[in-house]
């Protein structure tokens, strides 16, 4: 819920919390330090085949196959002691067991938390049975397809060999058959790359949405525990967490929408005349919500004098992407500079950070969709922001370039041509 100033109001109504808890499409189970289940949502009950509240007060072993129960208690206690979030890992082979004793594959994200000095774990559970079946079908189809291609290639080679023994007039046919073979191989390669890209995209979306949603859920649960006025600082901390994660999710959705419009050529640019300071102040205002401790954004003092005829919202999207990256990949207590000036032909923006920089060997790939440099793989991100920025700038007749040094920072330079209103 939003108040009139755009901030979050405290959820004091138990019914609202229950609705939010039950609305989560994945299974959610909360267990205490004794491994007893204290809360479940409808999705988890349906997933394991139990009726409403039937799992409450039961030990976690009731949903864990027997062959995995021996070491589970030790793993559980060690995880509580470590007090670290375990994100969903697609490489783990985890299984649950239904009430009817049927096993099924799952993916699980874990988040420990404490209330009144008591330890709890919240688990986000996904049934991946259909995904496993689909992956197996794709694997079988690829195997059959590769077998067919090998057979057809062998036949084609044999035909080419026979054609080489006939007279000179048939050489043209041999050439065409060889070209057909290359086209078949290229088509197969493109299809395989497309399948890999789709799989990567689905995995990316699943991971990038579920991690912040888990954080929002945890903060929402904890909010209702702090009723006293002297606990306001704790409430503020969780409200800030929810605000940042919702803002992060909103940015991801905007990026995905931008990709869809760019790919389908449905982007309609709306040119208007506006003051540059208005656009930059809007971008910086939103970015301030994401700043780490001690971070600061400096902007040019002369931007009030500049007027542009451009698509204002697209310019804000471009600058926001670059500024959010600078915040994300910079340490605390660092400064980020956003500089703008105009020449007779262009409006030029420079965004300078003192962050972790981009490894030299990764720099040539940095504008490729879904690419992420090796030094940021443990930081949340989709790898599509810079690709979107470059695509929009090319459509607007602009350019983007950068310089970067690892552990020193990066400087991105944008040039937009000055356009006179019609």
pLDDT at residue 250 in the model: 64
pLDDT (average), residues 181-193: 69
Burial track 33-42 (b if 16+ CB lie within 10 A, e otherwise): eebebebbbe
Task: Identify the pLDDT of residue 145.
Answer: 84
Mean pLDDT of the chain: 80
SS3 94: strand
pLDDT band at 116 (very low <50, low <70, confident <90, very high): confident
Q: What is the pLDDT of residue 11?
A: 40
Q: What is the mean pLDDT of residues 385-413?
A: 93
Look at the pTM and tell me if it is higher than 0.85. Answer: no
Q: Are 28 and 41 in contact (CB under 8 A)?
A: yes
Radius of gyration over alpha carbons of the chain, in Å? 27
Q: Pick from 150, 152, 173, 178: which is nearest to 163 by CA? A: 173
Query: What pLDDT is recorded for position 372?
Result: 81
Banded model confidence at residue 333, pLDDT cuts 50, 70, 90: very high
| pLDDT value, residue 364 | 93
**What pLDDT score was predicted for residue 262?**
59
Structure token digits, residue 62: 């009731």
User: What integer is the mean pLDDT of 220-236?
Assistant: 67
User: Rounded to 5 degrees, what are φ and ψ at 111?
Assistant: -140, 110
Of 27-41, 65-79, 112-126, the one with minimum mean pLDDT is 65-79
Higher pLDDT, 103 or 262: 103
Q: Tens of pLDDT along 334-385? A: 999 999 999 999 999 999 999 999 999 999 999 987 788 888 877 776 778 8
Give the pLDDT confidence score for residue 92 in this predicted structure.
Answer: 80
Q: What is the pLDDT of residue 98?
A: 93
- Residue 104 in this model has a pLDDT that exceeds 90: yes
Instruction: Name the band, by pLDDT with cuts 50, 70 and 90, for residue 187.
Output: low
Among 73-77, 114-118, 170-174, 394-398, the range of highest mean pLDDT: 394-398
β-pair partners for 3: none
Q: What is the pLDDT of residue 19?
A: 73
Max mean pLDDT among 174-188, 221-235, 241-255, 309-323 falls in 309-323
For residue 412 the two structure tokens come to: 């991105």
Nearest-angstrom CA–CA distance, 421 and 232: 52
- Report yes or no: 353 and 410 within 8 Å, Cβ to Cβ: yes
- The residue-averaged pLDDT of 13-38 equals 79
Q: State the pLDDT at residue 190.
A: 60
Residue 394 has pLDDT above 70, yes or no: yes
Q: What pLDDT is recorded for position 82?
A: 79
> Highest mean pLDDT: which of 95-109, 265-279, 368-382?
95-109
Q: How far apart are CA 106 and CA 244, in angstroms?
A: 29
101 vs 238, more confident: 101
Mean local confidence (pLDDT), 387-397: 90
Q: What is the pLDDT of residue 331?
A: 92
pLDDT score, position 373: 83
For residues 111 and 214, is the Cβ–Cβ distance under 8 A?
Answer: yes
Number of continuous H segments (helices) and E segments (strands) in the chain: 9, 12
């Amino acid at each position: 819920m939003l108040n009139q100033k755009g901030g979050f109001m405290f959820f004091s109504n138990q019914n609202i919390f229950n609705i939010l808890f039950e609305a989560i499409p994945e299974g959610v189970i909360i267990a205490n330090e004794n491994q007893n289940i204290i809360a479940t949502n409808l999705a988890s009950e349906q997933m394991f085949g139990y009726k409403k509240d039937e799992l409450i007060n039961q030990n976690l072993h009731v949903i864990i196959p027997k062959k995995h129960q021996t070491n589970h208690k030790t793993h559980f206690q060690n995880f509580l002691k470590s007090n670290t979030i375990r994100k969903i890992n697609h490489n783990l082979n985890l299984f649950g067991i239904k009430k009817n004793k049927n096993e099924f594959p799952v993916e699980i994200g874990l988040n420990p938390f404490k209330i009144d000095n008591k330890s709890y774990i919240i688990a986000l559970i996904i049934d991946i049975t259909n995904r496993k079946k689909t992956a197996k079908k794709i694997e079988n189809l690829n195997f059959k397809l590769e077998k067919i291609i090998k057979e057809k290639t062998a036949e084609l080679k044999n035909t080419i060999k026979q054609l080489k023994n006939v007279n000179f007039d048939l050489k043209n046919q041999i050439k065409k058959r060889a070209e057909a073979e290359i086209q078949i191989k290229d088509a197969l390669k493109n299809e395989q790359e497309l399948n890999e890209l789709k799989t990567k995209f689905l995995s990316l979306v699943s991971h990038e949405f579920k991690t912040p949603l888990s954080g929002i859920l945890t903060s929402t649960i904890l909010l209702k525990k702090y009723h006293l006025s002297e606990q306001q600082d704790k409430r503020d901390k969780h409200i800030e967490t929810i605000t940042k994660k919702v803002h992060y999710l909103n940015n991801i959705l905007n990026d995905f929408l931008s990709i869809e419009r760019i790919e389908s050529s449905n982007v309609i640019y709306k040119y208007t005349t506006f003051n540059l300071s208005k656009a930059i102040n809007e971008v910086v205002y939103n970015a301030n919500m994401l700043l780490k401790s001690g971070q600061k954004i400096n902007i040019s003092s002369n931007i009030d004098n500049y007027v542009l005829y451009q698509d204002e919202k697209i310019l804000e999207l471009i600058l926001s992407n670059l500024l959010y990256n600078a915040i994300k990949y910079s340490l605390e207590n660092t400064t980020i500079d956003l500089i703008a000036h105009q020449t007779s032909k262009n409006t030029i923006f420079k965004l300078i950070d003192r962050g972790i920089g981009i490894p030299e060997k990764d720099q040539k790939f940095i504008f490729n969709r879904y690419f992420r440099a090796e030094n940021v793989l443990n930081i949340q991100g989709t790898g599509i922001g810079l690709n979107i920025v470059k695509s929009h700038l090319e459509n607007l007749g602009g350019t983007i370039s950068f310089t970067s040094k690892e552990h020193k920072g990066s400087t991105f330079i944008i040039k937009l041509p000055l356009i006179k209103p019609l």
